[in-house]
Amino acid sequence: MTTLKNDLFLKALLRQPIDRTPVWMMRQAGRYLPEYRQIREQAGSFMNLCTNPELACEVTLQPLRRFAFDAAILFSDILTIPDAMGLGLYFTEGEGPKFHNPVRSLADIQRLPIPDPGAELRYVTDAVSLIRKNLQGSVPLIGFSGSPWTLATYMVEGGSSKSFQKVKSLMYEQPAVMHLLLDKLAQAVAAYLNAQIEAGAQAVMLFDTWGGMLSSEDYAEFSLRYAKQVRALLKTEQDGQVIPTILFTKGGGLWLETMTDAGYDALGLDWQTDIGQARARVGGKVALQGNMDPIALYAQPDIIKEKVKTILSKYGSGSGHVFNLGHGILPDINPDHVKAMVDAVHEYSPALHA
């Protein structure tokens, strides 16, 4: 087993003492990098890129060659599980993901298989193993999945949505059917994340991108309930090492107290939540990840540095903070601005850990 040269990220998630705040970035392997765009063109399509372990490994490593990030995150897509269930994932330029076979009825849901990660999703676990090998212990590797609720929104809507009319109608009119779908997805997500852990992921993150679209009571029943189910099924140790877990609900700032009790080691924050207030609300029970507005990276480097400084100072001294954006980086951000953010975390955070 390779000893990690930089374990700041893992220690921060477990709220252990560190000498500076670690930093990584959602979608850090992506279109803002010219070298990514070159590989994407070579692959021919986004799905070809995702399903080729060698290319997925290459784009995962690209940002680490440019920036002093403290973690790598597997390059993949949150919709790999529905695709493996037979829904026929495809991407239309400018329109995002779509499914040839959305689920709309009890019969549709009853037919859904729970994918075997070692078969239908083998390309993901192969990528994890290859990335872990190529990292050579430089930084930890993060595995991830979409949450059951978020996956269900795409599966029922047939793609992206603004109103979530179809999935919410199913939820309200046939709650038992929705619960059947979410239970299947929770089992599939847990198996998928455990397979990533066995392949080499050293932390895992659950992306609940659309949990914030729900009312408080519906979030508890249809989103958080199944995030808890996933967490209960996850491996907490691999090769003698603790595997930290992160739950990120975009728009979930209203529910931090209940999210804290879901069993995850850390909660991701979007940019609409004050991180200082969030720290007080979670009471030291979990670490926090975030939470700079991705749009702030359009600003000039001196402004970016001030934004970083503000977030760090609002969190305050001590461990338990992983610096990140409040959502994924946008495709036309200048990479030099990313460097300004990372450099600012390195410059300003050590004083908070003295």
Assess whether 27 carries a catalytic annotation. yes
Cis upstream peptide for 334 (omega within 30°)? no
Task: Tell me the pLDDT band of 73, cut-offs 50, 70 and 90.
Answer: very high
Average pLDDT over residues 173-189: 98
pLDDT of residue 2: 67
Q: What is the pLDDT of residues 131-179, one digit of tens each?
A: 999 999 999 999 999 999 999 999 999 999 999 999 999 999 999 999 9
Assess whether 40 carries a catalytic annotation. yes
Written as one string, the DSSP assignment of 78-90 is TTHHHIIIII-EE
Task: Tell me the pLDDT band of 95, cut-offs 50, 70 and 90.
Answer: confident
Q: Among 15, 20, 32, 40, which one carries the catalytic annotation?
A: 40
Tell me the domain boundaries of the chain: 8-295+311-334
For residue 223, the number of C-alpha atoms closer than 13 Å in the C-beta half-sphere is: 32
Q: Decide yes or no: CATH 3.40.50.970 for domain 8-295+311-334.
A: no
Task: Tell me the pLDDT band of 93, cut-offs 50, 70 and 90.
Answer: confident
Task: Find the range with the poorest average confidence among 48-57, 90-99, 239-248.
Answer: 90-99
Q: Among 70, 77, 83, 270, which one carries the catalytic annotation?
A: 77
Contacts of 262 (CB under 8 A, 6+ apart): 224, 227, 228, 231, 247
Predicted TM-score of the model (pTM): 0.97
What sign does the dihedral 256-260-262-267 (CA atoms) show? Answer: positive
